[in-house]
A = this chain, B = another copy of it.
Amino acid sequence: MKRYQFHLSYNGTNFCGWQKQPNANTVQTEIENAIFKIYSETEIPVVGCGRTDTGVHAKHYVLHVDLPHVEDLQKLKFKLNRILPKSISIQEIIETSSEFHARFDATQRTYRYFISSEKDPFQIDTVVHFPSSLNLQVMNEAAQLLVGKQDFTSFSKLHTDVNNNICEVFAANWVENGKGSIYFEISANRFLRNMVRAIVGTLLDVGTGKLKKEDLISILNQKDRGAASLSVPAHGLFLWEIKY
């Protein structure tokens, strides 16, 4: 057996997230089913770089899988892409070290969240329409307060199974994307469940004036999910890049 990295992207609209679950359509299920068809109906598990929630997309997702030696990686990619639905596309398959772990070896994850003040009929599933006017400068100042090693309990879904809620945020910025469209990009060593969507909801409240940028500090200090604003919808969120 050899270990391979798959680099892929998926549109999360019709999936209950990445992770395999009984009676639910997930990205992991689709990929394992496609491998099952190609490898003479042998069940081969894949290990993803992380979970994504229902409706969240991935521009760049990495998994690892152990397979019998593959002669032609291009051909395997082509065959899998033919079996997989249109909403999942494998961009590249590469051989990797037998030690490589898609989840534990990731050193940096980057998410982007897209919103637009204009209706865009061609991005219904990937951009959130937000017609209120926003103070981008103050949103960016508030975002800087998130950078560093901090406890993100206030931005985490309750009752998750992680031991601690410390994350190191490397960068957090709002970027103008042309024609009333902006995105929020955040990079960290790890993310808690629902964290980006709770952060974006809170920063939008700063942008409309409901909150002051200094409120971010008190929200972080309270270590209570009730302190932050509501989460924004899933469909504007992309797992954008994974670094190892």
Give me the interface of A with B, judged by CB distance under 8 Å.
9-11, 57, 78, 81, 84, 86-89, 91, 118-122, 124-126, 129, 131
CB distance from A6 to the nearest CB of B (A): 14
Instruction: Return chain B residues, CB-CB under 8 Å to A91.
Output: 118
Among B9, B81, B121, B125, the residue within 8 A (CB) of A9 is: B121
Tell me how far the C-beta of A52 lies from the nearest C-beta in chain B, rounded to whole angstroms: 13
Is the Cβ of B11 less than 8 Å from the Cβ of A124?
A: yes
Known: A11-B121, A11-B122, A88-B121. 10 other contacts (CB 8 A): A9-B121, A57-B122, A84-B119, A86-B124, A87-B124, A88-B119, A89-B119, A89-B121, A122-B125, A122-B126
Q: Which residues of B contact A129 (CB under 8 A)?
A: 86
Contact: B10 with A121, CB < 8 Å? Answer: yes
Measured between C-beta atoms, what is the minimum distance from A116 to chain B in Å? 10
Complex formed: what's the CA distance from A119 to B91 in Å? 9
Determine how close the nearest CB of chain B comes to the CB of A162; give it in whole angstroms. Answer: 29
From residue A205, how far is it (CB to closest CB) to chain B in Å? 22
Which of A57, A86, A91, A131 has the largest number of chain B CB atoms within 10 A? A86
In the complex, what residues of B have CB within 8 A of residue A118's CB?
89, 91
Sampled A-B contacts (17; CB under 8 Å): A9-B121, A10-B121, A11-B121, A11-B122, A81-B119, A84-B119, A86-B121, A86-B124, A86-B129, A87-B121, A87-B124, A89-B118, A89-B119, A89-B120, A89-B121, A122-B125, A122-B126
Q: Which residue of B lies closest to A120 (CB)?
A: B89
Please, which residue of chain B has its CB at the minimum distance from the CB of A124? B86
Which residues on the B side are within 8 Å of A57 (C-beta)?
121-122
Q: Chain B residues with Cβ under 8 A from A131's Cβ?
A: 78
Q: Which residues does chain B contribute within 8 Å of A120, judged by CB atoms? A: 89
The complex places the Cα of A9 from the Cα of B118 at a distance, in Å, of 12
